[in-house]
Structure 1
Amino acid sequence: MSRFEFAGVRLSRVWLLPLAWLALTAQAQQADPAKAQRSALAGIGRTATPAEVKAWDIDVRPDFKGLPKGQGSVRQGEVIWEAQCASCHGSFGESSAVFTPIAGGTTAADVKSGRVDGLMPGANQPQRTTMMKMSTLSTLWDYINRAMPWTSPKSLTANEVYAVTAYILNLGNVLPEDFTLSDSNIREVQGRLPNRNGMTTAHAMWPGRELGGTDRPDVQGSACMTNCGGEAVVKSFLPDYARNAHGNLAEQSRNIGPTRGADTTRAALAAGVSPVSDLKQPVAAVVVAQRATENVVPAGPAQSPVTTAAVTPMLQKNACLACHGMDSKLVGPAFKDIASKYKDRTDAVSYLSGKIRAGGQGVWGAIPMPAQSLSPEESAQLAQWLAQGMNK
C-alpha cells in the first residue's frame, strides 16, 4: 500500500478519502452556512405555526410596525388605571412607593420643543420620570401591552392598552381629557412627546460629546474594581439648632421620587436609638421608625384566632396582594416570611399594626411600603393574623 507525506506525517491511501470529505464539507459550510445549518438540524423540531408566531411576535417598533388596530379614550384609561394600575403608580402616576414615578417633571414648553428642560445640566429636577425620558411612544405602548398590569401581564386588550396609554399622556399634559388615541393618530401624538428630540446615540464617557466631554467608550476593556477602599458609611442628621429653622421639611419635599424630607417637627431620635454621632441611617429613616409606633392598638388580652379567609377580602380591597404573596416574595416580602419573623415577638400585634398604617422602608429592603389607609381595627386584625402564624 503506497504512502504519502502530509504535514510531516506519513499517511496511507485509505486516509485520503476522509480528509478530502472533511475539506469539501468545510468549503460547503463557508459557501452556504444556512444550508449547512439546516442539514445539521434536519429532523429536529418543527416549523412554528402561524398562531404560535403571532403569539410571540407582539413587539411594536419605533416606526409603529407591529401596532395592532384599536382605540381607547383618556376617560376609559382612567377607569382601567384606577382599577389595575393606581395601587402601584398612584392615581395620577406620581407615586414612587413601588416603582419610579411615571408622570411629572414636564411642561407645556417641553411639549412644544420636544426637549425636556428638566434633563439638562443645572436643572433643579430631583427625580426623572417616565414622561421626562420617553422619546418614542411605541416604547410605552409596547411595555404596557407585554408587561402590565404587574400581577397579570398581557391581560389587557389592544383597546385597553390604547386607553391606558392615552391616560398616561393626559397626565403628562400631552393629550386633552376628551382625546381618543388610536392606531390611525398615534404617529401624530408621537410628535407631541416632551422628549421626542432628546434621544441620542452618542454614548460615551460622561459628560459626553454634547456637553463638551469625551467620545471615548464607557468600557475600556481593562480590569477595574481592584484595590478598592473599605465600604463607605454615610451618616446624616440635622443639628438641633437647625432642625426646624425653615419649617417642616417633610411638607416642603418633592412629591415625586424616593426621597422624603425629615419631619422636623419631631425629635431627632426615637427611644432606644443610639446617639446622633453614631447614627448610621438618615434621620428620615428614624422618623419612619417613630411613626411605626404611633396610633397602634395595644396588644391587650389574648384574642380568638384570625383566619386567612377572614382577612382575604381586606387584602384584596386594599391591593395588598399586588405586592405581597402568601408564600412567595413579589414586590414586598411574603406574608409567610413576615409571620415567621415576628412569631416570637410579644408585641407583634401592636408593632405590625403600626407598621401597616405608617408604612416604612429598610426592614425588608430598599423598596418602601407606603402608609396604608386602614382603620386601627383593620390593621390590628391583619397584624393579629400575621402574629398568629396565618391561621387557615
Structure 2
Amino acid sequence: MSRFSKTLIALLVAGATGLAAGTAGASEGYPGIGRAATEAEVKAWDIDVRPDFVGLPKGRGNVDDGMELWETHCASCHGVFGESNEVFTPIVGGTTAQDIETGRVAALVTGDSPQRTTLMKVPTVSTLFDYIQRAMPWTAPKSLTADEVYAILAYLLNLGEIVPADFELSDENIREVQERMPNRNGMTTDHGMWPGAAAAKGGLGNGGKPDVKNAACMKDCKKEVEIVSALPDYAQDAHGNLAEQNRPVGQTRGKPTGAPAEEAAPEAKAGGAAALALANEKGCMACHGVANRIVGPGYNEIAEKYRGQTDAASGLIDKVKTGGQGVWGAVPMPPQGHVTDDEIKQLVQWILEGAQAQ
C-alpha cells in the first residue's frame, strides 16, 4: 500500500472517529488530524432520501405544475413526454396496468420492450425523488425546490399512469404511491454485496456471507501486455478533439486529437481562456463541445453558420436567454436564466469569434 493510500485512510478514519465521538480532536492514533463535522456541514451533505423515506423533505406538487417545470428544465434531454431516446434512455414506457397490480414488470422477463426504461426498472419511488433532488437538472443540480421536485415527480408518475392527472404528490401520500410502483416487487437482494434473506439462509454457496476478501488470483498471469484493439490514426479526430470533451474535474484529460489551432495574440488567448472557463462554470459544456457536437451543436458549427451575419450576436443572445428549438434538431435548448446578460454577451462574442480555447 502506498504512503498516499495510508494517509488517505488515516484521514478518513480520523474524520469518522471524530464525528462519531463528537469531539474536535482526531483519533488517538493520528493526533492533530481531522475534526468533528459541524451540524451545518453534516446537513449540507445529508440530503439523501432512503427507501423508508427517512430524509424526505416536506412539500407538495401537482401534475400540471410538474408538466410546466418538466418542459422548462427536463424536456431538452428527456423529451416532452419522458420517452425521448436522443440524449438519454427513456424514463417512461414499457409498463402496463397489470404491472402496477402485481408490482413486477413483465417486459423485464419477456423482453417485449425494445429497451429498459427508468419506470420499468426502479422499485422505489424514493429513488426517483432522491435523484431528481440531488442531480437534476443536469446543468444546474440541486437548484430545484422540494415542491418543484414533488411536482416533476408527479408528472413522471402520471406519464406512467401510476397516478391520475389531477394528483398532487406530497410527503404525506408518497408512501401510498410506492404501493403502485410497477416494479416494486422486482428487486432482489439475492447477491453477495447485499445478502438479503436468501443469503441469511446460506443460499449463496458461501455460508450466506458476501465476498469481501477480494483475494488476488495471481495464477496464469500474462507475461507481457498485448494490445488487441486501438483507434486507428485516420479515426483519431472523427468525433472532434477528445481533449476538449472531458468533464472539467479530475486529473484525467482526453488525448489531443484535433488539428493544431492557429497561434492567437496573447490578449485573445486570455479572453478565450476566460470565456471557456465561464462556459464550463455555467454548464454550457455539458451540451456543447468547442469543436464537436454533444447534445447540441459544437461552437465551431455555430460560428460557421452565422459567419458574416450582422445580426447574429443579437439573435444568439436572445436564443440563450429564452431558449429555442428546431435550428439544430428536435432537442430544445431550455432558457438559461442562471446566466447574466453580460455573461451571455461574453459567451456569444467568444463563440462567433471562433471559440478559441487558449
TM-score (norm 2): 0.54
- Aligned residues of 1:114 and 1:195 also touching (Cα < 8 A): yes
* Residue from 23, 36, 43 that aligns with 1:47: 36
- After TM superposition, the structure 1 stretch with the greater mean CA deviation from structure 2, 126-135 or 36-45, is 36-45
SS of 1:167's equivalent in the other structure is helix
- Aligned residues of 1:145 and 1:161 also touching (Cα < 8 A): yes
Determine if the alignment matches structure 1 residue 374 to structure 2 residue 312: no
Cα distance in structure 2, aligned partners of 1:80 and 1:92: 12
**Residue identity matched to 2:143:** S
User: Structure 1, residues 304-342: CA drift from partner, whole Å, max 9, x if none?
Assistant: xxxx9xxxxxxxxxx987611569x89559845x46xx9
How far 1:49 sits from its partner (Å)? 2.3
* 1:357 aligned partner: none
* 1:72 aligned partner: 61
Runs of 5+ consecutive residues of structure 2 not aligned to the other structure: 1-19, 193-197, 230-271, 273-282, 307-324, 330-349
Cα distance in structure 2, aligned partners of 1:145 and 1:373: 29
* Residue from 127, 141, 147 that aligns with 1:139: 127
Q: Which runs of 4+ in 1 moved over 2 A?
A: 33-49, 214-232, 319-322, 329-336, 385-392
Aligned length: 231
Cα distance in structure 1, aligned partners of 2:170 and 2:107: 29
How far 1:216 sits from its partner (Å)? 6.6
* Residue from 111, 122, 128 that aligns with 1:123: 111
Q: 1:43 to 1:162 in 2, by over 3 A?
A: same
User: Structure 1, residues 334-380: CA drift from partner, whole Å, max 9, x if none?
Assistant: 845x46xx99xxxx759xxxxxxxxxxxxxxxxxxxxx62289xxxx
Determine if the alignment matches structure 1 residue 89 to structure 2 residue 78: yes
Determine if the alignment matches structure 1 residue 153 to structure 2 residue 117: no
SS of 2:169's equivalent in the other structure is strand
**Residue identity matched to 2:114:** P
Q: 1:349 to 1:76 in 2, by over 3 A?
A: closer
- Aligned residues of 1:349 and 1:387 also touching (Cα < 8 A): no
**Pairing of 1:1-392 with structure 2 (within 5 A):** 38-120=27-109, 122-203=110-191, 222=217, 323-324=287-288, 331=294, 335=298, 338=300, 373-374=326-327, 389-390=354-355
SS of 2:27's equivalent in the other structure is helix
RMSD of Structure 2 on Structure 1 (CA): 4.4
How far 1:39 sits from its partner (Å)? 2.5
Cα distance in structure 1, aligned partners of 2:49 and 2:115: 28
Cα distance in structure 2, aligned partners of 1:153 and 1:330: 22
Cα distance in structure 2, aligned partners of 1:183 and 1:136: 14
Q: 1:391 to 1:215 in 2, by over 3 A?
A: closer
SS of 2:61's equivalent in the other structure is strand
Q: 1:389 to 1:330 in 2, by over 3 A?
A: closer
- Aligned residues of 2:61 and 2:168 also touching (Cα < 8 A): yes
- After TM superposition, the structure 1 stretch with the greater mean CA deviation from structure 2, 88-97 or 220-229, is 220-229
User: Structure 1, residues 41-98: CA drift from partner, whole Å, max 9, x if none?
Assistant: 4444443222221111101111000111111111111111000000000000001111
How far 1:125 sits from its partner (Å)? 1.7
Cα distance in structure 2, aligned partners of 1:108 and 1:95: 22
How far 1:387 sits from its partner (Å)? 8.9
Q: 1:126 to 1:69 in 2, by over 3 A?
A: same
How far 1:215 sits from its partner (Å)? 5.3
Q: 1:52 to 1:391 in 2, by over 3 A?
A: closer
SS of 1:48's equivalent in the other structure is coil
